[in-house]
Amino acid sequence: MKSGNGLLGIVAVVAIVLFFVMTASGPGSRLSNGWSYLTTGSTTLQSGQPQALANGATDYRAMARQDAIDNGIDPDLFERQINQESGFNPKAISPMGAEGIAQIMPSTAKSWNVDPWNPVASLSVAADHMHWYYQHYGNDYSKALSCYNAGTDALDTAMARYGSNWRIGLPAETQRYIALVMGD
């Protein structure tokens, strides 16, 4: 029995040390992710992923900002964009049928290979596509927003027809969307 008690004591000490090391390393660290995987089979606490707020809700704003930074776009603009899209509601559905926190149309979600109801994946893919639009259209976030809201064809047509006054060639909803996000 004495050797059993010694083993139990060692296990308790190791558990306490691990607890303090994980606490010190913080959520999202590799150690914390490893512990999450061992205890739940999930790696959802990866670095850059949302943390729980005091009320238990997920901090999607912080995640959106991190996704923007990771993709080289302005985190303030991306946060305002997602706020305009869904108010950071991962269950939002638009009258036009766009779904989830990033308001992705089902056909677009399919082509982007993302589940629009998964807020983590949706924010990440939205930031990635905004980065592509941003770079493709001369580092112009207004044009990137136009693509996100109305599609690249709408922007290309408006630019071909109206040149530097391209915004007037966009649908009124897209014009308002750009103005709200950009603060115009």
Average pLDDT along the chain, 184 residues, taken 10 residues at a time:
63 58 46 41 41 70 97 98 97 95 96 97 98 98 97 98 97 97 93
Q: Could you list the active site residues?
A: 85
Q: What is the pLDDT of residue 54?
A: 61
Angstrom CA distances, 150 to 101, 167, 179, stand at 17, 12, 14
Give 7's contacts (C-beta < 8 A, 6+ positions apart).
none
pTM of the model: 0.71
**Cα within 13 Å of Cα(113), Cβ side:** 1
Closest listed residue to residue 75, CA positions, set 61, 89, 90: 61
Q: What is the pLDDT of residue 58?
A: 83
Q: Where are the alpha helices (DSSP H) in the chain?
A: 2-25, 30-40, 60-70, 75-86, 106-112, 119-136, 141-150, 152-162, 172-182
CB 44 within 8 A of CB 34: no
Q: What is the pLDDT of residue 174?
A: 97
Domains of the chain: 1-47 (no CATH), 58-184 (1.10.530.10)
CB 122 within 8 A of CB 100: yes
Q: What is the pLDDT of residue 40?
A: 39
CA distance linking residue 1 with residue 33, whole number of Å: 36
Q: What is the pLDDT of residue 24?
A: 47
CA distance linking residue 100 with residue 91, whole number of Å: 5
